[in-house]
Amino acid sequence: MFRPDDRAAAPPLPLRHRLPNAPPLFIGRAVERRYLGALIRRAPVTVVWGLGGLGKTSLVLHTLHADFADQAPRVLFVSLRPTEPPAAVEVELLRAVADAHRLAKVEWSGLLADPDGLLATLIDLADALGYWVVLDDLHHADPRSARDVLGALARYARQSRWIVTSRRNPLLPELVDQTLALAGMPPTDLYELASRCAPHRAVRDLHQVADASAGSPWRLRQLLTGSDAARVSEDLLRGVPPEATPLLEALAALELPLAPATLAGLVPLPSPDTIEALAQRGILECSSEGLRLHDVARPLIETGGDLRARKAEVARALAAADDDPLSALEALRLLLSLGHLDEAVALLESRCELVLGAGLAPRLAQLLAPVDLPRLASFRLRCAVEIGDPAALDAAALPRSPTLGDHFLWAASHVLRGRLAEAAAIAARVRSAAMAAPEGASLALTAAILETGCLGELGRAGEALGVLGVIQAAGRDGAALLGVHRARWLMQEGRAAEALECIETIVAAGIDGAAPTTSELRDELIVLFCYLGRVRRLEQVLDTLALGAQRGPALLFGARRSLLTEGLLCVHAGRLDPAREVFREVERLARRTTYLRPFLLALDAERRLITGELEGMEALLCTLHDEATRAGHALNQCFAVVTAYRVAIARGKPRVELDASALRATPYWATLLAAAARLHAVLHGLPPPAVPAIAEDIVHGRVLSALGAAAERAIAGDPEAARAHASAAYAVAREHGHVPGELEALRMSCDALLLAGDAAELSHAAGLLRERADAAGSPRFSAEARWFTATLDGAPHPSALESFLELVDVAPVAARRSRALLDAPAALDLLDRVVLDALGRRRAGPASRRDAASRAGWGLDTAARKVWLPGGRTVELAARAILYRILLGIAERGGRATKEQIVLFAWEQRDYHPLRDDKRLHVAIRKLRLLLEDDPSRALRLVTTADGYAFGESEPFRRVAAEGSPEPR
């Protein structure tokens, strides 16, 4: 629904999408109107369906104007028309909503390759301003598209409302209770309508007309004009003035409404009175978009003579409409249907970019598919690259006589298939030929960027720099684009300082914010600075160059690369929850292209490592490595191996899942790999690699190297030096706004402070770690912070460790250290052992089931005479000696005891008499269950056995006493 502040901020609707006025004469339908109003109020989607001519649209318009007058000025009206191929309703709706938002640019290429993303964008945009949308004549849309759209709107729309008219019942389960089946009007209402329309007619005639109308107000109007009831369709055109015939024939050739000014260039228009009379009879439909034949009248005029000449005239007139992509597409349809292929090709050569820029690539591809003409191959290839769908790419072919532009598109199609080596070779040939051509500078730059992107991803960054070194860029924006790509590969070559100099040159020169290269510039800057870990400087550069994230669809559902780079920025800036949403959306897109998938897997692996979603991480990294290997993505292979080291470090595993020996690592990745490998080796007592020489500007490497030095000094027994190295890692990460580095450094600082015995500083550092982790959305580091807080008074009590036992895939360090403190098997690295030794680890006393110690449970603290339970609850038994001794007696006997054993131990008796002792034992057990069980009527912790009582199997039981103290009796 609208909110007042939203309405004030919303731009005025374009005229073509404003809600038309209600019919001036509306009779009857009172019951239907009340029901329709209730449906609209109740849920986001309402469908009105029924046969043609029953007044579905009139009912909707009247209801909205009469019952929702406050909303009517902001209702979008989108009318679908019969097109060949049928319209994709989600594209038509998104175009209308984007127009209403006044979005100057919609990144159609990404959206059209991602149907789910397109629907999500549509819903998000409509919900943002609480739009109401009337979708008229849905039966003209592609049926599958219509069902998908209605289903998504019914499930996910929140603040928007969607009112749909159709001649077909959508039969969707989600809309069973939101559908109004419109029947014919009763004769009494039709008679009243007839008498209001033709008050001069005799009463008998009006009754005959009403009875013959068969419930249809449209049919009633035809009969009132004098048509015979049995031949109303055939008589529809009877009495049409001769001067209106050319107009009707021109409109019969069209599927789209056409403005009167455009029509006047084709045929002489009849008088306004004649046009109004034709509209009243239902022959013409008038809207803000123009004039159109009613569906019932169209076949009558189409069969009335040879319309080929008229269609050709209309097509040529539409082809001359310079700024209307829909007119161009309609002209193309007409020319192809007439077999005027030369004119169709000429139209495509001049208007293809206009059509594609409006998001009409799927419809254009469908129009071209059945036409067997080699000259159309170039346009089919262009559509396939624009859509990015594997099936479309596989069906596309290089034209028989390809231009350099065709070769470039062919190279781009290879990139989208993940064939980088082939794409690089083709792009190199295009670049060389374009450089030799008089007007080829622009294509040479574009081809060079494609070529170097492939070379760089293949691990050949040096070659990429060589290619860029021979390219000349025209103008400030071309130079900026060339410079940012050069900076990216300088960084991969380990020349970070030179890369940053390139960026500073771009910043100093400035860019044109309206240039078509701005989106690509933003993407490249994000990749460069995030790889360096310099997030704060990135934000400054983007702000200086006014390269903000694009509004609307481009922000979350735009071009594929932009989606991924926005997610990359979210991860490194510590916005992990938004990153999850971005990757969730792009995941559906990545299934459709080979090229995207390794990048998505890599970025999501980075996010999961930081948040603590480690379940299945090793398998994910193996998949990433395998897919990157098949596609030749050397940089993603490097990422997979470095991340495998980081996962092994987090899990305390001495073995790394992926082998680094066959990597083609650029100097950048070689540095990070050496730093990660050294940290891993230090933690597991393996021969460490040499300390890598890390450039000052590579924040990632500096943090990793400092963490390795801190771990080495901590294991060697020098906590102060470890603390200094960890502080240095935190300082550099904090300075550059690299949140993942901050979290890793703070955790290492906590280890050093624990070893140093500085409880006050440890408390501060653990609190800061938790604060930063919670702000970023990282359960992993938040749990690690809580574990350090639990150690402030020495070895944590078992009850404090319970909550960490099941966090093996969330906070693995806290989980394994907690298991070790409870005497359960745990894979510890050398730093873990040093930390646990510093805590003065107190081994637990005999436990009834140590094999279950990796699960949260409950236990008895014999020193404090209390029981701890899952969730942190405790039960004091110091004043309940008998209850305490019953539990202690069961624990002493391995978690199971007979009634006799319990009675003799608890009441300190020498003999046992069932008739005397069982009753008081039952009473005591009942009291214990009331204290210990979540549901005393279904005991799970203290269960009954055949001859006594035992601790249940559902949760482990543990027993602990103060070190060196005898257990109380």
Q: pLDDT by residue (tens digit) across 413-441?
A: 888 888 899 999 999 999 999 998 888 88
Query: What's phi and psi for 182, nearest 5 deg?
Result: -85, 120
Dihedral-angle region of residue 744 (phi above 0 means left; psi in -120 to 50 means alpha; beta otherwise): alpha
Question: Which tokens hold the place of 419?
Answer: 């064939």
Tell me: the pLDDT tens digits for 339-358? 888 898 898 888 888 887 76
Percent of the chain with pLDDT over 90: 29
**Angstrom distance (rounded) from CA 739 to CA 575:** 9
> How many Cβ atoms sit within 10 Å of the Cβ of residue 869?
20
Tell me: the pLDDT tens digits for 315-344? 887 787 667 787 888 888 888 888 888 898
In the three-class reduction of DSSP (H, G, I as helix; E, B as strand; rest coil), residue 213 is classed as coil
Which carries the bigger pLDDT value, residue 553 or residue 633?
A: 633
| DSSP one-letter code for 200 | T
**Angstrom distance (rounded) from CA 741 to CA 746:** 9
Question: Which tokens hold the place of 295?
Answer: 């569906």
Tell me: the pLDDT tens digits for 468-520? 999 888 888 889 999 999 999 999 999 999 999 999 999 999 888 777 778 88
> How many Cβ atoms sit within 10 Å of the Cβ of residue 12?
10
**Angstrom distance (rounded) from CA 244 to CA 277:** 11
Show Cβ contacts of residue 499 under 8 Å, excluding neighbours closer than 6 positions.
Answer: 486, 487, 488, 490, 491, 528, 532, 697
Give me the residue spans of the domains in the chain.
4-183, 190-392, 402-472, 601-680, 696-843, 857-969
Window from 6-15, 243-252, 280-289 with minimum mean pLDDT: 6-15
pLDDT band at 845 (very low <50, low <70, confident <90, very high): very low
> Looking at the predicted structure, is the pLDDT value of residue 198 above 70?
yes
Window from 270-284, 455-469, 740-754 with minimum mean pLDDT: 270-284
> Looking at the predicted structure, is the pLDDT value of residue 467 above 90?
yes
**Angstrom distance (rounded) from CA 279 to CA 931:** 82
| DSSP one-letter code for 258 | B
Query: What's phi and psi for 955, nearest 5 deg?
Result: -135, 140
* CA angle in degrees (0–180, nearest 5) for 481-484-488: 140
> Looking at the predicted structure, is the pLDDT value of residue 726 above 70?
yes
pLDDT band at 552 (very low <50, low <70, confident <90, very high): very low
Q: Which residue has the tokens 């979540």?
A: 934
> Looking at the predicted structure, is the pLDDT value of residue 5 above 90?
no
CATH class of 696-843: mainly alpha
Query: Residue 968's pLDDT is what?
Result: 38
Q: Give the chain's mean pLDDT.
A: 82
pLDDT band at 647 (very low <50, low <70, confident <90, very high): very high
In DSSP notation, 534-581 reads -HHHHHHHHHHTT-PPPSTHHHHSSSHHHHHHHHHHHHHTT-HHHHHH
In the three-class reduction of DSSP (H, G, I as helix; E, B as strand; rest coil), residue 180 is classed as strand
Question: Which tokens hold the place of 216?
Answer: 């249809």
- Give the mean model confidence (pLDDT) for residues 617-621: 93
- Give the mean model confidence (pLDDT) for residues 718-734: 95
Task: Tell me the CATH architecture of domain 857-969.
Answer: Orthogonal Bundle (1.10)
> How many Cβ atoms sit within 10 Å of the Cβ of residue 306?
7
**Angstrom distance (rounded) from CA 45 to CA 914:** 71
| DSSP H or E stretch at residue 45 | strand 45-49
Fold for 4-183, please state it.
Rossmann fold (3.40.50)
Window from 224-228, 264-268, 855-859 with minimum mean pLDDT: 224-228
Q: Which residue has the tokens 């992993």?
A: 780
Window from 418-427, 518-527, 797-806 with minimum mean pLDDT: 797-806
Query: Residue 18's pLDDT is what?
Result: 84
Query: What's phi and psi for 287, nearest 5 deg?
Result: -145, 180
Tell me: the pLDDT tens digits for 631-642? 888 999 999 999
Query: Residue 433's pLDDT is what?
Result: 94
> Looking at the predicted structure, is the pLDDT value of residue 799 above 80?
no
Pick from 145, 146, 155, 211: nearest CA to 178: 155
Query: Residue 963's pLDDT is what?
Result: 42
Query: Residue 663's pLDDT is what?
Result: 83
> Looking at the predicted structure, is the pLDDT value of residue 220 above 70?
yes
Pick from 926, 822, 932, 794: nearest CA to 874: 932
Query: Residue 472's pLDDT is what?
Result: 85
pLDDT band at 848 (very low <50, low <70, confident <90, very high): very low
Tell me: the pLDDT tens digits for 167-192? 888 878 788 778 888 877 888 888 88
> Looking at the predicted structure, is the pLDDT value of residue 879 above 60?
yes
**Angstrom distance (rounded) from CA 417 to CA 415:** 5
Show Cβ contacts of residue 770 under 8 Å, excluding neighbours closer than 6 positions.
Answer: 781, 782, 785, 786, 789
> Looking at the predicted structure, is the pLDDT value of residue 655 above 60?
yes
Provide the edge-to-edge strand list for the sheet that holds 957-960. Answer: 874-876, 866-868, 858-861, 957-960
Find out whether 194 and 201 touch, Cβ atoms under 8 Å: yes
Tell me how far apart the 2 most distant CA atoms of the chain are, in Å.
Answer: 123
Query: Residue 492's pLDDT is what?
Result: 94
**Angstrom distance (rounded) from CA 597 to CA 722:** 40
By CB atoms closer than 10 A (0-12, 13-18, 19+), residue 841 is middle
Find out whether 956 and 824 touch, Cβ atoms under 8 Å: no
pLDDT band at 305 (very low <50, low <70, confident <90, very high): low
Tell me: the pLDDT tens digits for 395-410? 788 888 899 999 999 9
Query: Residue 852's pLDDT is what?
Result: 45
